[in-house]
Structure 1
Amino acid sequence: MMESVIERCKMQIHKFKKIYDFESAYWFAEKWLFAVFIDSEKSSVGAKQRNYFDGKWINLPNNDIHSSLLEPLEEMISCLIHNQQFARAVHFIKSNGLHIRSKTFFLLLLHCQVKLKDWINAELTLMDYEDRIVGKADLTNLTESEDPQQARIAHLKGVVFDALEKRELAVEEFKFSVKSDVSAVSSMMTLANRTMMDEKEAQIFIDEIFSGQEEDEMKRIYEMNLTPTEFNLKTNSKESMLLNAASIENYIWEVKDHMSKFSNEIALRLSSKLMKIDPYDDRILLNHIGLLVESDQSNELYKLGHLLIGLDPDKWIGWYCAGCYYLVVKKFMKAIDMLRKALIKNPNFGHAYLALGHVFSEEKEYDQAMNSYLSAQRVMPGSALPDLYVSVSYRALGNYEDAHSFIKQAYEREPCNPMVLHEYGTNLIKLEDYENAAKFLNRALNSLMQNVRRNSQSEVSPRWAPLLFNLGTALRLKGDYKEAVEMHKRGLILNSSSADGHIILATSLFADNLFESVEQLQNAMTYDRQNSFTNEILTRVINELSKEDHSLLFDDSSDEEKEEEPLKPLPTQQEVQQFVTPQNRPRLQSTPREFQFNVNDSFEMSIDEDSTMGYGEQLDNSGDISDDTLPLDADS
């Protein structure tokens, strides 16, 4: 009779789980457990507690759980998890000591504690696992094998260690999860999205996993995500069932690839198509938000932020989008508030730290900006961007030695990144190493042009004009005036309205052509009439021209009769050097590799600041925040 009851319960559980009615499935799983318990050979235990089997559950006898009970118990707990009753599942497992008897229940317990973000108790649970107390029960009746459990437990351990800021342990656990099961893409995606390894480390890791094996389709998936700049799907002619031109991973990779090549218009068009297909995929959203910031589309950011916060105010990405909106419309205090809310909901979100640093840089709060960048460095150790931005901040404060140490670290991680090469060369100009500055800036330009040639549809953004201006400045300071003039003119082709560009070209023309220099200074005055330095330089150059041509054009008196007023000399190298154009501050992008924040919209920063800086207060992410209203306003 009990066998028929058990069979009926199994059928009902299967039926209700198929229609996602987990409450009904739980009820029948409970009846299944009671039937097995009563029918067990341990009749003394069954008789002792049979009176309580009236629809309510009581604790199992801790020292005597038969293996036949494990399957219905697992069904019950899985139903609780599906209903998001994590605290109830934790209590059920721990009060009955199930996690000590079975690795399956240990896995379920750790999963629930992670969902509850109960990191302290999760770490205590891991101590039992490390002491080899877990998994003494017979698991032969369970359908799940040991290896998938081992890989999943390692992944959850990595999540716990990451939340407790034990980054190195977290990375090792994620790697171990992948080694245990190469199909465990959740661990691989965490390593990729969080940029926990640079591409060199990632390639060594991939070679280690797939060494001695035949070509595995999964290897291509790993290369696409962990080493995206080296991976090119189109040049790989081998057909794959897991990865092909129609897969969503391919389209997401193409968006990231265009962003890494600074072809943002093409990337935005493709990203917009993906948003119509799956508008709530975090991978697609993160790329799309970054591209909207690059193109200054504040209205789209406003609408998307409202939508995401309205759908799920407890999720970080809506508040991040709102922070990006306020960054674009230059309402910096609101941007700080929104980004800090995003970080409270996801403290390991490196993009928000970088964006917060950009906001503080706009406000010239460089100590807080660097704190934000260093926080990003802790959560995304494989990326060069945090070090890059710390270098930019130090250079803005005139601390070129410290700037050099940070940009050197960024260069070691990503030696081919044009942004890193640009900042490296710009800082070397300030250190008066003009020869090496020109070399690094030339490498940045060549790398950028190589990316453009790879994509015949892309054009160089006008926001890369500072690279050409800075290269021209380095050439001028090392004495190559002709090449410097040519480079400045190329920069003005990209951005003809740059007052700094016209001033820099004028300084390069002082030696050979003062008349054209005056023309460029007048052009600079057209775009920036309030620039006192330009006024001063223009006055000096005109006076110099008057001095040279006065006797021929304006005066008939003899040289002996003329008393000339002393004229100010032309500007010195130190005076004109201040027009090393500020580094293009890359803005928001979201690829999980080197361009989490992409080049575009220049964050112009004064590089003649005389103030000094020390490390200020750390970011304060504490406090109660009300999520019941949408804080965005419509003016942009």
Structure 2
Amino acid sequence: MEKFLADWRQDALNKHQYDSAIFIGDKLLALTRNDKDAFWLAQVHFSTGNYTRAQSFLCKQDLIARNPSCRYLAGHCLIKQSRFEEALGVLGVKNPTHLITSSSNSRRKLQHTSGHNRAGSKQHGKGASRIDRYDRRDEVAQEDATNIRFEAAMCFLRGLCYAKQNAFDRAKECYKDAVRIDVQCFEAFEQLMKNCLMSPDEEWQFLESLDFDAISISDDPSSSQEAAEFTKMLYTTRLSKYKNPSVFTAATETLSTHYNLATNPDLLLAKADLLFTQCRFKDALEITNSILHNDKYNFSIYPLHLSCLYELGLKNALFLVSHDLADNHPEEPCSWLAVGIYYLCINKVADARRYFSKASMMDPHFGPAWIGFAHTFAAEGEHDQAISAYSTAARLFMGTHLPQLFLGMQNHMLNNMTLADEFLKTAYGLCKTDPLLLNEMGVVFYHQERVEDAITMFTKALEIADEIDSDSQAWISTRANLGHAYRRLQQWDMALAEFDEVLRQGGKDTSVFCAKGLVLMEQRLPYDAVLVFHEALAISPQDAIATELLNKALEETASGGVAGEEEIEVDEDFERGLAIKKDEAAHFASRRAGKGKGRLRMSSGFGPNENILMDLADEE
């Protein structure tokens, strides 16, 4: 009768006939009085969304105190009811850290006893009692392993409670302990990655500290090593793409070729994320489009997909996506993120802010919404409000360098170079391999008269961009900045080489030609400078700076270049014109709030030609 009822119960559950499953499960529990059947019935109540009934059932059966799996389920019921303090009371506030070292031993013991079980079955004449003894050991080991997994799951639930209470340091430790106790507790690992609770360096160190060898396959222990390697490669694809791209590429290649995961959405998303950090937005968009073509409402894809559409200025595509999501899934924060990004793309900043705010209220830990909300203030030049919003993002997502980077950029806009330097140094401590961050540090050093340090940063940014195979077009402004720094140090040939490279790569901007012309005038080549200033005026005929510099170059040419050792003087009107031009460029940069990388990054930094006038007004 017990087997009949158990099969009937399972069949009802498979068909999602929960009333039948509850009805039959209740009768089976009356027959067996078994904790497992009681836990199973509580799980059905949980699956129907009846969390209060599931919790009440567990309490009445007195299962919480004597069974880890029931304590886990009771805590989960309380979390679903947003009763976080009570959940911590049930789960306990202390993580079972003693299991971190013993968990792997218990699993190896399980593997060891399983091997003995098979060996014992082959020995003739030893008697059935020995086989039974091994079977009992096997059952005990299996039960220990199950209990350990539930202990890890309870660590994960503690982390959720602390995160809801904004105690992110404690949440981070709970998540890490959960994965250390049970390396297969992916929920906890995903919370660490998704919420950016660790820096890129910390993420890779944490991955290396995990005991993947603890993974065992009871039916086939010889395959355990392969399972461990497979799991480690899967976890590797979830890590930050700012560090060790070669390791990431090797993992994805193996998963794609050996395990037929080439078209798996999670693996494709990881590849697209790497392309996005390399500023290869078209390539990343091609991948996200292919994923959404097969799985239109995979919401994990949309933050990156929307970022690509924004970076490429595809307003019509953003309009269609945002309308579709808002109509079909208004309960998803990602839907309103899409609407906010669309409005930001068409420069309706107030509307964008409203929808970013709505998305962040629906999910207070939704990173892209917070970053987008802060960007709306930056786009309007409201630097104080932007700093406040970025500070909130920095508190929520303490493992990512992006909020600190944006805080540094906003203080730079306010000419608070000391504060900008501090924030950028903090960001650098979290991530040393983001070319945009290095560029911003170089700009701040430049304005602090630390020109040699600025050159080091600009050069390093370009080297890293080249190493990660980033789109060179994205770093034209960095190369122009490097040219300005060389010019400031009167290294004319180096400066001219950089400006020529900027022009060769397509950075045909009036300010670039002006900077190149200034260098040529310093080299006493006024005729060549005249040609360059004419090119600048061909782009912008009304440009005051190019016009003034052309006049001076013509005077030099007319005088036969006899200026000798005299400095190129800039009168007060010219100086005022340069200052105005610089302010206009800074204002334009603040409105853009930059270009950007990463799923939290949606926009981040100066566009291709927005920093180029950063020091022309300082000419003497």
Q: TM-score band, normalised by the shorter chain?
A: 0.7 to 0.9
The CA deviation at 1:28 is 2.0
The CA deviation at 1:91 is 4.2
The CA deviation at 1:101 is 4.1
State how far apart, in whole Å, the 2-side matches of 1:445 and 1:144 are: 50
Match of 1:539 in 2: 548
- After TM superposition, the structure 1 stretch with the greater mean CA deviation from structure 2, 91-100 or 395-404, is 91-100
Given that 1:294 and 1:589 are in contact with CA atoms closer than 8 Å, whether structure 2 keeps it comes out as no
Letter in 1 for 2:434: N
Report matched runs for 1:304-383 at 5 Å: 304-383=321-400
Given that 1:74 and 1:105 are in contact with CA atoms closer than 8 Å, whether structure 2 keeps it comes out as yes
Asked if residue 105 in structure 1 is aligned to residue 61 in structure 2, the reply is no
Match of 1:504 in 2: 515
The CA deviation at 1:523 is 4.4
State how far apart, in whole Å, the 1-side matches of 2:55 and 2:597 are: 39
Letter in 2 for 1:77: A
Q: Provide the aligned C-alpha RMSD in A.
A: 3.7
Match of 1:290 in 2: 307
Given that 2:356 and 2:373 are in contact with CA atoms closer than 8 Å, whether structure 1 keeps it comes out as yes
State how far apart, in whole Å, the 2-side matches of 1:607 and 1:102 are: 68
Given that 2:64 and 2:71 are in contact with CA atoms closer than 8 Å, whether structure 1 keeps it comes out as yes
The CA deviation at 1:390 is 0.7
Select 1:22's aligned residue among 15, 18, 21.
Answer: 18
Match of 1:513 in 2: 525
Per the alignment, in what secondary structure is the counterpart of residue 392 of structure 1?
Answer: helix
Unaligned ranges ≥5, structure 1 = 37-67, 132-138, 453-457, 553-565, 609-636
Match of 1:151 in 2: 152
Q: Flag the structure with more relative contact order, 1 or 2, with Cα contacts below 8 A and sequence separation at least 6.
A: 1
State how far apart, in whole Å, the 2-side matches of 1:86 and 1:251 are: 36
Letter in 2 for 1:10: A
Report matched runs for 1:571-610 at 5 Å: 585-587=593-595, 589-591=597-599, 597=603
Select 1:226's aligned residue among 222, 236, 239.
Answer: 239
Match of 2:472 in 1: 460
Asked if residue 260 in structure 1 is aligned to residue 277 in structure 2, the reply is yes
TM-score by structure 1 length? Answer: 0.76
State how far apart, in whole Å, the 2-side matches of 1:93 and 1:106 are: 8
Given that 1:293 and 1:588 are in contact with CA atoms closer than 8 Å, whether structure 2 keeps it comes out as no
TM-score by structure 2 length? Answer: 0.78
Aligned length: 543
The CA deviation at 1:234 is 4.7
Match of 1:202 in 2: 203
Letter in 1 for 2:498: M
State how far apart, in whole Å, the 2-side matches of 1:73 and 1:156 are: 21
For residues 235-285 of structure 1, what are the alpha-carbon distances to aligned partners after superposition, in whole Å with 9 as ceiling and x for unaligned? 468678668545444322211221122222111112211111223223322
State how far apart, in whole Å, the 1-side matches of 2:578 and 2:605 are: 29
The CA deviation at 1:114 is 2.6
For residues 114-163 of structure 1, what are the alpha-carbon distances to aligned partners after superposition, in whole Å with 9 as ceiling and x for unaligned? 333333433343448789xxxxxxx9998982011011111111111111
Match of 2:117 in 1: none
Given that 1:171 and 1:196 are in contact with CA atoms closer than 8 Å, whether structure 2 keeps it comes out as yes
The 1:520–1:170 alpha-carbon spacing in structure 2 relative to 1, beyond 3 Å, is: same
Unaligned ranges ≥5, structure 2 = 97-138, 215-224, 562-568, 615-620
Per the alignment, in what secondary structure is the counterpart of residue 100 of structure 1?
Answer: coil
State how far apart, in whole Å, the 2-side matches of 1:144 and 1:23 are: 32
Report matched runs for 1:439-478 at 5 Å: 439-452=456-469, 459-461=471-473, 463-478=474-489
Letter in 2 for 1:17: L
The CA deviation at 1:482 is 2.2
State how far apart, in whole Å, the 1-side matches of 2:300 and 2:231 are: 20
The 1:524–1:543 alpha-carbon spacing in structure 2 relative to 1, beyond 3 Å, is: closer
More helix by share: 2
Match of 1:416 in 2: 433
The CA deviation at 1:76 is 2.6
Percent identical pairs in the alignment equals 19
The 1:143–1:32 alpha-carbon spacing in structure 2 relative to 1, beyond 3 Å, is: farther
Per the alignment, in what secondary structure is the counterpart of residue 300 of structure 2?
Answer: helix
State how far apart, in whole Å, the 1-side matches of 2:148 and 2:277 are: 37
The 1:123–1:255 alpha-carbon spacing in structure 2 relative to 1, beyond 3 Å, is: same
The CA deviation at 1:487 is 1.3
State how far apart, in whole Å, the 2-side matches of 1:488 and 1:579 are: 18
Given that 2:201 and 2:431 are in contact with CA atoms closer than 8 Å, whether structure 1 keeps it comes out as no
The 1:605–1:509 alpha-carbon spacing in structure 2 relative to 1, beyond 3 Å, is: closer
Given that 2:212 and 2:229 are in contact with CA atoms closer than 8 Å, whether structure 1 keeps it comes out as no
